[in-house]
Structure 1
Amino acid sequence: KFGKDGRLYAINPEAGFFGVAPGTSDQSNKNAMESIKENTIFTNCALTEDGDIWWEQIGHPAKGKLVDWKGNTRDALPTDKSPKGEEFAHPNARFTAPAKQCPAIADEWEDPKGVPISAFLFGGRRPSTIPLVHQSRDWNHGVFLGSIVGSEITAAALDLKVGSIRRDPFAMLPFCGYNMGDYFQHWINIGKKSTADKLPKIFYVNWFRKDLNGNFIWPGYGENSRVLAWIFDRCDGKDNAVETAIGWMPKEGAINTGGLNVSKEQMKEILSVDAEGWKKEIADIRENHYPKFGNRLPKELTEALNTLEKRLG
């Protein structure tokens, strides 16, 4: 909802957090591990001899015997990894915990006034084309970015060709109970209710760029805070970006890489405009994505797509 100051405010409608357990550790997600120390529900995890829970890549091996997610008792392994297909915890095992137990949650998280929204971040799992971070030029361009969110299909998906893009606009397909074209229009309409200087800024992030050898270039996890720092600076009006064909991107050196094993060349690679890749992206959106919404697709999004095509030359 909009406040008297013209800014958009949000109220958290949820009481807790849930997440996938395997791969969660003190190293990958310290705050999650702190949040689930008590009052937590676990599903399809392994059970230790002393009644605790365990999963693959939790950060330490288990001892003695474990009851796996199928109810079988087996000897624990000397590492926190298991051969594929022999996991003690189901690969999609989950935890859910009260939000108030998260050490990083804002003091105002239950304030009925809500908290002002400074930025929206969208993102998908893309090994190429989409840069580490870019910012929309304006609100409608940001809605366009949200509408094209997608992730590259892996061998785990059976219904689409590997390497094709599964679009999930605004990451809302599983949750939107009405036509997504109308959902897009709702976002467009929100942008008309305030001024550009008071509307949240919109960013698109991609932590999953890979090099030619198939290795992730950006370390991800907690290091993503370095990108967030740039985003915070943008919200504060700092001049740390350059305008490109796809939107605003960090100036050289604007993202702090001190202490990271990421070279200047690699940063340049994940913060550059892949014009040919974006042209293929445009073709996929125009031929395979936007036609799904028929006459419910807002004209502003078609205009944004056309503008992007023209800017790429």
Structure 2
Amino acid sequence: TVGLKKLALRLAVYKGLREGWLAEHMFIVGMRGPGGRLTYFTGAFPAGCGKTATTMIADTVVGDDLALIREVGGEARAVNPEVGMFGIIDGVNPVDDPEVYRLLVNPEAEIIFCNVLLTEDGEVWWRGKPTEPRRGLNYAGEWWPGKVDAEGREVPPSHPNARFTVSIRLLEKLDPRIDDPLGVPVSGFIFGGRDPATLPPVVEAFDWHHGIVTMGAALESERTAAVLGKTGVMELNPFAILDFLPVSPGKFTEMHFRFAEKLARVPKVFQVNYFLRGKDGSYLAEKRDKLVWLRWMEHRVHGELDAATSPIGYLPLYEDLRELFDKHLGKDFPEHLYEEMFAMRTPQLLAKMERVRSAYEQDPDAPPELFEILSEQYRRVKELRSRHGDWVSPFRLDRK
């Protein structure tokens, strides 16, 4: 089925190239704001980087994986072409993922599981369930607590790439406009990857072209168990759609430039990174913090919050995040944590720009503007490093 999905999306991307619209590997969600307004975002993440979790923490869901985006009346409007949801189940638990967990344990819901443990008494078990795993069958055959493989390594009861498929119609947060033939108006594009050492939790691009290049085309992510190959390796995955592209990443980037030319209202572009680690190696953000990053983006779309200007885009101000954490999560957000999360790590940022530029120098379709935008960002980061060093506190940045 993944092969058929890949073929279908490749055909859609190519059709969009010929007709002037976008087929994206993106969720579509709605976030509520003051006065009950509903603001829609699309988001692209490589597998295992929080795409489903972000979808499920939003206020409404139009789609969790694919988006067809066309210009309608000067707006970018998105529809979900799928009827189901397909997500990684590893780590899903009732505390951090309450809605999807309730759905997955609902005996009335028709669900397809893979790479999980099926116990002898008929329970479907995955890592994240509060119960202890018991003897049964899993991806490697018969399983029991303490089982080891031929090399003496313990065999986990469920695989890190365990997944589920379910009808999207069963979601409590299903958006009322899911069947609107004109789609929903998109106010923001979000790109996210797994980056342990470089990018802050959320950044807003300076403009559409800057975001499409430095956040979409330059999207890097640490490889996870959701894909083949050695885990932990940083790899370039433009727009989180590399496996589905029938054209080069450079050509796909140019498609986005051309698409925006038709719009009277161009969406903002954001980048998120849920996987930044601190000096002790632990994640700096909690899983539920995603909600605050989304709330901040919703306010930024409507021009309601100021920001700090960094070389890579606009960053949240500490006082705004402190208020959002208290209002929406009921927890403190200490100043020292903000400083560690949103510091500019200039050597890592420069190395990232060098890797991305080197990759696109091999792409004959890469538009000249892509290199211009990368070079400008490289210059800004290098200038900041010359003034303030390798680690720059967000409190040293100018406000916008």
TM-score above 0.5? yes
CA 1:84 to 1:251, structure 2 compared with 1: closer, same or farther past 3 Å? Answer: farther
* Cα-to-partner distance string for 1:164-204 (whole Å, 9 max, x where unaligned): 53000000011112222111110111111123xx1111001
Instruction: Name the residue aligned to 2:274.
Output: 207
2:235 is the counterpart of 1:166 = yes
Cα distance in 1 for partners of 2:103, 2:243 equals 26
* Cα-to-partner distance string for 1:131-158 (whole Å, 9 max, x where unaligned): 1111111110011120011113579999
2:135 is the counterpart of 1:68 = no
Cα distance in 2 for partners of 1:254, 1:117 equals 24
Instruction: Name the residue aligned to 1:17.
Output: 85
- Give identity over the alignment, percent: 29
Counting only pairs closer than 5 Å after superposition, residues 110-259 of structure 1 correspond to structure 2 as 110-144=179-213, 145-152=215-222, 165-195=234-264, 198-219=265-286, 221-255=287-321, 256-258=324-326, 259=330
Moved more, 166-175 or 150-159: 150-159
Instruction: Name the residue aligned to 1:267.
Output: 338
Deviation at 1:59, TM superposition (A): 2.2
Cα distance in 2 for partners of 1:125, 1:133 equals 13
SS class of match (1:72):
strand
Question: Which sections of structure 1, spanning at least 5 residues, go unmatched?
Answer: 78-82
2:97 is the counterpart of 1:26 = no
Deviation at 1:231, TM superposition (A): 0.3
Instruction: Name the residue aligned to 1:48.
Output: 119
* Cα-to-partner distance string for 1:245-299 (whole Å, 9 max, x where unaligned): 2111111222133344653112112113223322222222223x21231x20011
CA 1:171 to 1:84, structure 2 compared with 1: closer, same or farther past 3 Å? Answer: farther
Moved more, 99-108 or 252-261: 252-261
Instruction: Name the residue aligned to 1:277.
Output: 348
Cα distance in 2 for partners of 1:66, 1:302 equals 54
Cα distance in 1 for partners of 2:172, 2:296 equals 23
Question: Which sections of structure 2, spanning at least 5 residues, go unmatched?
Answer: 1-69, 384-400
CA contact (8 A) 2:278 2:340 kept: no
Letter in 2 for 1:66: G
SS class of match (2:257):
helix
Q: Which has the higher strand share?
A: 2
Instruction: Name the residue aligned to 2:57.
Output: none
Cα distance in 2 for partners of 1:129, 1:55 equals 31
CA 1:204 to 1:75, structure 2 compared with 1: closer, same or farther past 3 Å? Answer: closer
TM-score (norm 2): 0.69
Deviation at 1:238, TM superposition (A): 1.0
CA contact (8 A) 2:195 2:275 kept: yes
CA 1:33 to 1:84, structure 2 compared with 1: closer, same or farther past 3 Å? Answer: farther
SS class of match (1:22):
coil
Moved more, 114-123 or 247-256: 247-256
Instruction: Name the residue aligned to 2:166.
Output: 97
Deviation at 1:240, TM superposition (A): 2.6
SS class of match (1:109):
coil
CA contact (8 A) 2:133 2:145 kept: no
Letter in 1 for 2:340: E
Q: Which has the higher helix share?
A: 2
Deviation at 1:31, TM superposition (A): 2.0
SS class of match (1:222):
helix
**What is the CA RMSD across the aligned residues, in angstroms?**
2.6
SS class of match (2:144):
strand
Deviation at 1:71, TM superposition (A): 3.5
CA contact (8 A) 1:122 1:146 kept: yes
SS class of match (1:118):
strand
Cα distance in 1 for partners of 2:232, 2:90 equals 25
Letter in 2 for 1:123: G
